[in-house]
Amino acid sequence: MWMARVLNGWIGKEGAAPNDTVSEAGLIALLIGYTIAEVERDLIIETLCACNGNRTRAAKTLAISVRTLRNKINEYEAKGFHIPTPVHSGSELVGWR
Tens-of-pLDDT digits for all 97 residues of the chain? 555 555 554 544 444 455 556 788 888 888 889 999 999 999 999 999 999 999 999 999 999 999 999 999 999 999 999 999 886 655 555 554 4
Enumerate the β-bridge partners of residue 87: 95
Could you tell me where the DSSP H helices lie in 1-97?
A: 2-7, 24-31, 36-50, 55-62, 66-78
pLDDT of residue 23: 81
pLDDT of residue 1: 58
Contacts of 57 (CB under 8 A, 6+ apart): 51
pLDDT of residue 44: 97
Sign of the Cα pseudo-torsion (19, 97, 92, 40, in order): positive
